[in-house]
Amino acid sequence: MVMVIEVRLKHVKGAAESVEKSSYVIIEEEAQKGQMQSLFINKAPLHIEIGMGKGNFIIENAKKYPHINFIGIEKYDSVIIRAVQKLEEEKLDNLKLIRMDATNIDKIFEKEVDTIYLNFSDPWPKDRHAKRRLSSSTFLKRYDAIFSKEKKIVMKTDNRHLFEYSLMSFTDYGYQIKELSLDLYKDDYPDNIATEYEEKFHTLGYPIYRVSVNKK
């Protein structure tokens, strides 16, 4: 059974202004293309999450792995503001956020990303919308241009159809599967960091699928 949770985006008053003011948020991100490392104190591998939502995953990763630089990407001010609010009390030198549509990801990054996380990406269930899926070949082609050397994508989802589609899409595009779990919470993943959607679906008893793929 596929459960569809309807997401209504609430208007959050003043969100755009607060997001822009945050020291964590990169503004005029196109000007940083190819030079994202210069925004961080330490030069380190760069991991990005596309569609980070309210930011739990990327914030907790930044705390746990200070030797990695992280950038979280989210399309909506009304959502990214929740991450900005969580960060008000934090001092993380290895985390930045960008409010943007990932359709333009190859205009923002150039040969500088080491790992991409796709967590509970919008499934776009209709065939005619398949190109909008963040794991479609349309996006994989864009990612080619932003990876530094080896290309690594880690995906988690509760959506079996999106998962099956993504496995096909990754392997058709030349990615090799390195890790695969059809039930993350039954398998042994002690280092797992949950996202907001993951907590919700896991609590409801749904299996969480995870795959890690890479390509030379």
Tell me the catalytic residues: 122
Q: Which residues bind ligand SAM (CB under 6 A)?
A: 50-53, 73-76, 79, 101-103, 119-122, 195-198
Dihedral sign (CA 106, 108, 114, 118): negative
Q: Which of 127, 138, 120, 136 is nearest to 74 (CA)?
A: 120
Q: Measure the CA–CA gap between 198 and 163, rounded to whole angstroms.
A: 14
The CB-of-56 to ligand SAM minimum distance in angstroms stands at 7
**Contacts with 170 (C-beta within 8 Å, 6 or more apart), sequence order:** 135, 140, 153, 177, 211, 213
**Residue among 77 and 112 whose Cβ is closer to ligand SAM:** 77
**Residue among 120 and 216 whose Cβ is closer to ligand SAM:** 120
**Residue among 121 and 176 whose Cβ is closer to ligand SAM:** 121
Which letter, b or e, does each residue of 81-98 get, where b requires 16 or more Cβ atoms within 10 Å of its Cβ?
Answer: bbbbbebeeeeeebbbbb
The CB-of-72 to ligand SAM minimum distance in angstroms stands at 9
The pair of structure tokens assigned to 139 is: 């996006």
Q: Which of 200, 184, 139, 185 is nearest to 165 (CA)?
A: 139
The CB-of-50 to ligand SAM minimum distance in angstroms stands at 6
**Residue among 42 and 161 whose Cβ is closer to ligand SAM:** 161
The CB-of-131 to ligand SAM minimum distance in angstroms stands at 11
- Please identify which residue in the block is written with the tokens 């779990």: 181
